[in-house]
Structure 1
Amino acid sequence: MGMMLPPGWIGGSYRQLCHSKSATPPFRVLFFGTDRFAVQTLQALRQQQLSPHGAVSQLEVCSPPMRHLVPKVRAYSAQEGLILHDQWPPPIKTGTFDLGIVASFGKMIPRPLIQSFPLGILNVHASLLPRWRGASPIAHALMHGDTETGISIMEIEPHHFDVGVVLAQQKCGIGPNETRQTLTDKLSVMGANLMIQVIQNLSWYRGQKQPQSTKGVTYAPHIDKTFFEIRWEDKTAQEIFNQYRALHDMSKLWSYWAESGHIVRFSSIIHPDIIRDLNCEQVCPEALPGRTIHIKCYRTKDHFVCIKAKKGWVAFQEFYYDKRKVMKAVDFFNGFISKHENQRGLYFTRMTPT
């Protein structure tokens, strides 16, 4: 029976494929990860370990405990009876493991730890590097309206995030209504499968690795509370919709109600196509960003609280004013707009009024 070559093989040689006996599976693997995205790769590695001819002979996990929650990787590891390394960095002796594998870990891995793995450390990164280097590539791809992303399998280098050489990439389309949750689920499966493909044929992929381009580099920093504020004067309606689908499962978008200075949080965005059909520009043609109007659709009896963006209008189904419970659009209209709508313009604003 002839040798089965890796998918996508174009030429090459047996020496390229098996240039080092030490790079031939099965491998002793230490996995680094924390969240839902990482679990999919850990599950795939576990399946390899349990398979009679799998690419993994030994599997342990480094996932330091968190103060307020149990990382999903720790929960899965406990369920499977995998050895967990709590200390960071873990005191690993050189040669204890052949290979390290990282997926959504979030910590800079120091040089001595990298050097303790004879075959180095590989990372499953959820973008087509060098686009979206950093902690939150999926959210940033969605916020910027990307129509394509993917998975990169790369080598970890000390002192820098996501700059190592790339062993393999696979593209993934982004649908116009895709959310962070659905895209994360797709990419986690794709990343797990691609990582297994790489470690099964590690010598060959190492022979094909390429440095990242210096062109097209973008960064995806950690998502903090500033990303959830809506900047009406800076963003179009489509960009706010993209912001919502990128972030809404983590927390609510918010803005200040100018009359009181209280924060209002938003939930359940209305699709831009529906708002375009309401003809808000005809109701308030001179509106500035943040201007808020009420429109009732007499055909459906629905109430819409529409807010002007840099271009176009945005609407949500639910509002959380200050510390109050959730209000539907009609309740927010009755409580904060109806009495004043004809006397003065009512606005959401970026800055707290002084």
Structure 2
Amino acid sequence: MLLQYERGIFVNSFKYKRRYNGLVTELSIRWKSTGLKILFFGTDNFSLPSLKLLNEERSRSNAIKSLDVVTSFKKPKNVVLKYAENKNLPLHKWPLQHLVPNRFDLGVVVSFGHLIPEKVISLCSQGIINVHASLLPRWRGAAPIIYALKNGDTKTGVTIMKIEPKHFDVGDVLAQREVSIHSNMFLPELYGKMAEEGAGLLVSTVLKFPEALKTAKTQDHSQATYAPKITPEFCDVNWNHKTALEVFNLHRALYSYKHLTTKWQMHTIKLVELTLSNHKNINCKPGYVEFYRTGKCLRVFCKDGSCIEVSKLCVEGRKTMSAIDFNNGFLKGCSRENHYFTHVFECTETLRATEQI
């Protein structure tokens, strides 16, 4: 009986797959003659290259029949809204109202920032695909590029995946493309490169849609790592726990977006410009700060005696200053045993404990 049952499952599965593949072929023939009706979701500079390439493809071929755009209408206007207005693309305000199921063939999400509900997915007869800035299942979440840099990854990539209701970044993978990360690459460079690579991979996937669905692969959920939203704690340097390389990688990951933070005698400090140093002194405790006159910078020591060199920083309530100015205004008037940067949130907890006493 069990063997017959298993055979029944196999036969039914085979029949379903054959019907599904037939439907895919039928849809492919229809869309090649009429073109896809696409609903695009996006808001920012990562979204824009994808929208531009899709619109260029719509203008020069029959592959895309129409391109509607869903975005935020909040002021100031985002780059996606400005582009759509300039190109006279049909615009829809998020959250969507007056939903009509199957009005579109395919939805495309690129850096939208909102979980797409099932009722919105139903607008698109073939579902919605997403451009994600990592090689899923690695770095699921809101900040995959930042986490790849912070982790010191030497490669990352872009993934085209199917959107699933109620969950982020868990759908089947339609396509992936690897992107190298060199040791001196900072967030703006990698962000721009990933946006362009994602746009190119998206258009190539759309042009062979729905055939791309045939080869879609389920993610290995056991290999998932996560890249949640960036918090103030993420930006704070714990000198006792990080090597100089780890601090530098965190700086690369946040560059132009957020500053690394630390404490100097209860003053919050933003580290504006820093580099990795070859200097090492295992006798210096983590967080110890000294002025390196030859390099005109501050040396800050980390957990293994390695150090970073800070050339510009900003003391809370003041303008950005050079390391020379910080030395003259703060270090010189302080005994060497107090020459320490400390962990911002460690100081906060200490202060709370003191107040309770």
| Larger RCO (alpha carbons 8 Å, 6+ apart) | 1
Whether 2:345 is the aligned partner of 1:345: answer no
Letter in structure 2 aligned against 1:337: L
Residue 62 (1) aligns with residue 70 (2): yes
Shift of 1:16: 5.3
Contact 1:230 1:240 (8 Å CA) reproduced: yes
CA contact 1:265–1:319 (8 Å) conserved in 2: yes
Q: What CA distance in whole angstroms lies between the structure 2 residues aligned with 1:146 and 1:243?
A: 12
Secondary structure (helix, strand or coil) at the match of 2:46 reads helix
User: Which of 219, 225, 228 is the matching residue for 2:226?
Assistant: 219
What residue number does 1:327 align with?
321
The question of whether the paired residues in 2 share the 8 Å contact of 1:61 and 1:85 is answered with yes
- Residue 190 in structure 1 maps to residue 184 in structure 2: no
Q: Are positions 1:32 and 2:41 aligned together? A: yes
Q: Paired residue for 1:96?
A: 103
Distance in 1 between the 2:307 and 2:342 partners?
A: 15
Is the Cα–Cα contact under 8 Å of residues 27 and 210 in structure 2 kept in the other structure? no
Identify which of 264, 288, 291 aligns with 2:288.
291
Q: Deviations over 1:155-195 (max 9, x none)?
A: 00000000000011111111111111111111111111111
Structure 1 unaligned blocks of 5 or more:
1-12
Q: Which runs of 4+ in 1 moved over 4 A?
A: 15-18
Deviations 1:76-102 (A, max 9, x none): 112212121113034331122111000
Q: 1:178 to 1:100 in 2, by over 3 A?
A: same
For residue 152 of structure 1, give the secondary structure of its aligned residue in structure 2. strand
Between Structure 1 and Structure 2, the one with more helix by share is: 2
- Mapped to 2, the partners of 1:104 and 1:98 lie a distance apart of 20
Q: Which residue of structure 1 lines up, in the alignment, with residue 355 of structure 2? A: none
Alignment counterpart, residue 50 of structure 1, candidates 38, 55, 59: 59
Q: How far apart are the structure 1 equivalents of 2:292 and 2:194? A: 39
Q: Is the 8 A contact 1:292 1:345 kept in 2?
A: no
Equivalences for 1:216-255 in 2 at 5 Å? 216-255=223-262
Structure 1 stretch displaced more, 74-83 or 25-34: 74-83
List aligned pairs for 1:24-173, cutoff 5 A.
24-25=31-32, 26-51=35-60, 53-66=61-74, 69-173=76-180
| Contact 1:17–1:207 (Cα < 8 Å) also in 2 | no
Alignment check: 8 A CA contact 2:289 2:299 kept: yes
Farther-moved stretch of structure 1 (89-98 vs 110-119): 89-98
Cα deviation 1:207-231 (Å, max 9, x = unaligned): 1011001232101111122221111
- Which secondary structure does the structure 2 equivalent of 1:199 belong to? helix
Partners of 1:55 and 1:104 lie apart in 2 by 23
Secondary structure, in 3 states, of the residue corresponding to 2:24?
coil
- How many residue pairs are counted as aligned between the two chains? 324
User: Structure 1 residues 219-228 or 172-181, which shifts more?
Assistant: 219-228
- Determine helix, strand or coil for the equivalent of 2:182: coil
One-letter amino acid matched to 1:263 = T
| Cα offsets for 1:265-313 (capped at 9, x unmatched) | 111112x1xx21xx351xxx4222111111222xxxx322111112311
Matched AA of 1:92: L
| Secondary structure of residue in 2 paired with 1:215 | helix
Name the amino acid aligned to 1:56.
I
Contact 1:62 1:90 in 2 (8 A): no
1:317 to 294, 298, 311: 311
Residues 99 and 214 (structure 1), Cα distance of their counterparts in 2 relative to 1, 3 Å cut? same
Q: Does 1:178 align with 2:185?
A: yes
CA contact (8 A) 1:140 1:220 kept: yes
1:134–1:161 contact (8 Å) kept in structure 2: yes
CA distance in 1, matches of 2:179, 2:120: 32
Judge conservation of contact 1:252–1:267 (CA < 8 Å) in 2: yes
- Picking from 194, 210, 214, the partner of 1:203 is 210
1:230 alignment partner, SS class: coil
Give the SS at the match of 2:145. helix
**Cα displacement (A) at 1:340:** 2.6
TM-score normalised per structure 2: 0.86
| Alignment match, 1:22 | 27
1:203, distance to aligned residue in structure 2 (A):
2.6
Distance 1:149 1:86, change over 3 A: same
Structure 2 residue runs of 5 or longer lacking an equivalent are: 1-17, 352-357
Alignment partner of 1:265 is 2:265: no
Amino acid at match of 2:327: F
Three-state SS of the structure 2 residue aligned to 1:81 is coil
Instruction: State the 1:47 CA deviation.
Output: 0.5
